[in-house]
Chains A and B, each alone.
Chain A
Amino acid sequence: VKKSIVFSTLLLAGVYSFASEITGYIGLEGRGFLDNPIHENQKNNSLSTSLSLEYFHDFEDDNERIVATGYARKDSSTDGRDHFDISELYWWKGYDDFELYIGVRKVFWGVTETSHLVDVINSSDSVENIDGEDKLGQPMVSLLYEQDWGTVELFSLTGFREPTYLGANDRLRSELIVEKDLTTYESSQEEKHIDFAARYSHVLGDLDLGLIYFNGTSREAEYNKKSVEGKDVLAAHYNQVEIFGTDIQLTKGDYLWKLEATHTKPKSDSSYFSQVGGLEYTFVGLANSDADLGIFMEYQFDERDHAFGQNDLALGTRLVLNDTQSTEFIGAVTQDLDNKTKFISLEATRRLTDTWSIESELRVFTSVDSDDSLYDLREDDYLQVLFKRYF
């Protein structure tokens, strides 16, 4: 009897080791800026450390799960990038017909490479990177219903997470810094307004289709100049908006065709249309090697004159070596078609060992027009190297 108890305990332990786990990484990031700063007290180099910790636990025959993820950054030269965020803290349960999520989550929507228009659930963690891909955890209750005719997701977003803003000593900041205390909201409930979002998605053969709807506090601020004790600063104002959008990808042979489009209707302003779309072609097994070379083109359009990507063309390339170290390069040049402004981005990643990897990026802003939305970043070209140690 004892033996069988010991055995079943061991068996349980064996099963449980897979159903519950703490993982994460420590990041060591160095940034070097190629031009002298515009503002006082901005530095040319910075070193910063980040930590990501993730825990998950599956139970009830894998029909329930708890996930908790925390993220923190400490920067050597400034304090604007120092922060801590609960990226995820939720409970999930799968029922026969639907799934329920309660808690803080990150949800990504979209298909394109150079802009993320339909990715409207989470607020940006802007101090992390200018690419808009880093997000803050969003509290919610959401239901997911999956059928032969498609997947429907409904979200009640219980409270707005205000995006992070760079400080006065940070590079890559706007001309004027955002003063968080001055933030205002259109809704009288302010950041406590409960937003609603929905998504329908379906796979039809080669076509991946998504339709989105959002109604609530805009994740994108409108900035107004204000004067505080004789000093000019920016105050963020968050409007109530309604967004209808779609994301479509057609995968045909070596071609990927991609489109994201949104129609945004602010409650007390005129509505506008935004889109990003294009194609990617891959040369598989370039010159009889194991490497794949992709080339892509995306056109960005926004009806608002001063939006990012109001009339821009991005051309890029992706080189995947398919080697043991998973070495990859991705580079893109985004050209504003109304003025001469160019944005160049190069990224490379490579695995060093089983637990270490290196990621680097070079970002260059050239011929920046004084009317362009990138004008504030004209002297902020930088090279970044990030080492990650996973555990």
Chain B
Amino acid sequence: MLSLHQNKKITSPVITALLVGLLSSFAFGSTPEERGLEIAIEVDKRDNGYNDSTSTLEMILGNKYGESTTRTMRNKTLEQPDDGDKSQITFDNPRDVKGTSFLSYTHKKGSDDQWLYLPGLKRVKRISSSNKSGPFMGSEFAFEDISSQEVEKYTYKYLKEETLNGRDTYVLERDPVDPKSGYTKQNVWIDKERYIAMKIDFYDRKSSLLKTLTITDYKQYLDKFWRADKWEMVNHQTGKTTILNYSKWNFKTGLKDKHFTKNSLKRSR
């Protein structure tokens, strides 16, 4: 590569073009793995600094006969400086699980910590996080799909560029690091301009296409953070669907660590 710079016969526009090419290939990593990782890091970096957020969530479960049931819940999340997010989900509907709350500490490395609050018994139960491949509340979302997406949870490979719904995207393959994951790989379409995921294909343990998640209706908050109002998961093997409709997003509401403890979990309503 150095020899290129020493070849004086090359005209300057060519050198510039080569340099740009060199720099950009350097900026995006020289191997597909490095380039994939750098895109994932950029996605993560652009979403840093929201501190905390709250939102409400409607979950519509549909079966292949077109019947559907709806659940509602509230969500709050707290960023951690050197680790994965802390988050809590509280159910409002169906009524038999009203007040039931799920607290989770995501870790960049190792398994997450999870507790469940059962309001009828006033009991907080620590639950195993090795259920990550299991369905969340009977939906097509697994626990690992709704938990905080830390860079360290996957290894990456840059695949190609593609246009999706009129937007330029990078397509990455990411492979879960945790052997407990229900997936062998995921293909992620990332918007080139905004660095947000627009679509994810999930491949099961036999490497067959299992589910597709389409994320739409993004809105920008505080001139920085993109949040999608609609997440639609389709299970290709069962024909079932789950739609998540987010609303009432709030950021920097002043939540602290003390709002994400076993004690505060007992007070959730």
Chain A interface (Cβ < 8 Å from any Cβ of B): 21, 23, 25, 56, 58, 65, 92, 99, 106-108, 110-111, 133, 144, 146, 151, 201, 203, 205-206, 208, 249, 251, 253-256, 282, 284-285, 290, 292, 322-326, 351, 353-355, 357, 388, 390-391
B133 touches A285 (CB 8 A): yes
> Which residues of A are found within 8 Å of B138, using beta-carbon distances?
322-326
B133 touches A23 (CB 8 A): no
Beta-carbon nearest neighbor of A107 in chain B: B122
Interface residues as binary, B23-66 with A (CB distance below 8 Å gives 1, 0 otherwise): 00000000000000000000000000000000000000101000
B95 touches A355 (CB 8 A): yes
B263 touches A282 (CB 8 A): no
- Give min CB distance, B104 to chain A, whole Å: 13
Q: In the complex, A251→B124 CA distance in Å?
A: 14
A-B contact pairs, 20 of them (CB 8 A): A21-B269, A58-B269, A65-B267, A111-B126, A133-B121, A151-B263, A206-B113, A251-B126, A251-B128, A253-B128, A255-B128, A256-B128, A282-B131, A322-B134, A322-B138, A324-B69, A326-B137, A354-B69, A354-B70, A354-B93
> Which residues of B are found within 8 Å of A206, using beta-carbon distances?
113
B94 touches A355 (CB 8 A): yes
> Which residues of A are found within 8 Å of B113, using beta-carbon distances?
203, 205-206, 251
* With contact pairs A203-B113, A290-B135, A326-B138 given, residues A282 and B130 touching in the complex (Cβ less than 8 Å): yes
> Which residues of B are found within 8 Å of A92, using beta-carbon distances?
267
Within B72-131, which residues are at the interface with A (CB < 8 Å)? 93-98, 111, 113, 121-123, 125-131
Chain B interface (Cβ < 8 Å from any Cβ of A): 61, 63, 69-70, 93-98, 111, 113, 121-123, 125-131, 133-135, 137-138, 180, 182, 258, 261-263, 267, 269
> Which residues of B are found within 8 Å of A253, using beta-carbon distances?
111, 128, 130
Beta-carbon nearest neighbor of A321 in chain B: B138
Q: In the complex, A206→B126 CA distance in Å?
A: 9
Option from A282, A292, A354 in Cβ contact (under 8 Å) with B94 = A354
> Which residues of B are found within 8 Å of A354, using beta-carbon distances?
69-70, 93-95
Q: In the complex, A21→B121 CA distance in Å?
A: 20
B130 touches A284 (CB 8 A): yes
Which 3 A-B residue pairings sit nearest by Cβ, starting from the closest? Answer: A390-B95, A357-B96, A324-B138
A284 touches B96 (CB 8 A): no
Q: In the complex, A144→B262 CA distance in Å?
A: 12
> Which residues of A are found within 8 Å of B262, using beta-carbon distances?
151, 201, 203, 208
> Which residues of B are found within 8 Å of A99, using beta-carbon distances?
263
Option from B98, B122, B261 in Cβ contact (under 8 Å) with A146 = B261
> Which residues of A are found within 8 Å of B111, using beta-carbon distances?
253
- Give min CB distance, A90 to chain B, whole Å: 12
- Give min CB distance, A183 to chain B, whole Å: 27
- Give min CB distance, B7 to chain A, whole Å: 58
Q: In the complex, A107→B131 CA distance in Å?
A: 28
Q: In the complex, A90→B138 CA distance in Å?
A: 35
Given A56-B269, A354-B70, A390-B94, list of 15 further CB < 8 A pairs?
A21-B269, A108-B122, A110-B123, A111-B125, A111-B126, A206-B113, A251-B128, A254-B130, A282-B130, A324-B138, A351-B96, A354-B94, A354-B95, A357-B96, A391-B95
A249 touches B122 (CB 8 A): no
- Give min CB distance, B49 to chain A, whole Å: 24
- Give min CB distance, A140 to chain B, whole Å: 14
Beta-carbon nearest neighbor of B129 in chain A: A251
A284 touches B261 (CB 8 A): no
> Which residues of A are found within 8 Å of B131, using beta-carbon distances?
282, 284, 292
Q: In the complex, A190→B128 CA distance in Å?
A: 44
A108 touches B128 (CB 8 A): no
* With contact pairs A108-B121, A201-B262, A354-B93 given, residues A285 and B126 touching in the complex (Cβ less than 8 Å): no
> Which residues of A are found within 8 Å of B258, using beta-carbon distances?
146
Beta-carbon nearest neighbor of B125 in chain A: A111
> Which residues of A are found within 8 Å of B93, using beta-carbon distances?
354
B96 touches A390 (CB 8 A): yes
- Give min CB distance, A295 to chain B, whole Å: 13
> Which residues of A are found within 8 Å of B134, using beta-carbon distances?
284-285, 290, 292, 322
Q: In the complex, A248→B61 CA distance in Å?
A: 37
Q: In the complex, A108→B265 CA distance in Å?
A: 13
> Which residues of A are found within 8 Å of B269, using beta-carbon distances?
21, 56, 58
B97 touches A284 (CB 8 A): no
Q: In the complex, A268→B136 CA distance in Å?
A: 52
- Give min CB distance, B258 to chain A, whole Å: 6
Option from B98, B122, B128 in Cβ contact (under 8 Å) with A282 = B128
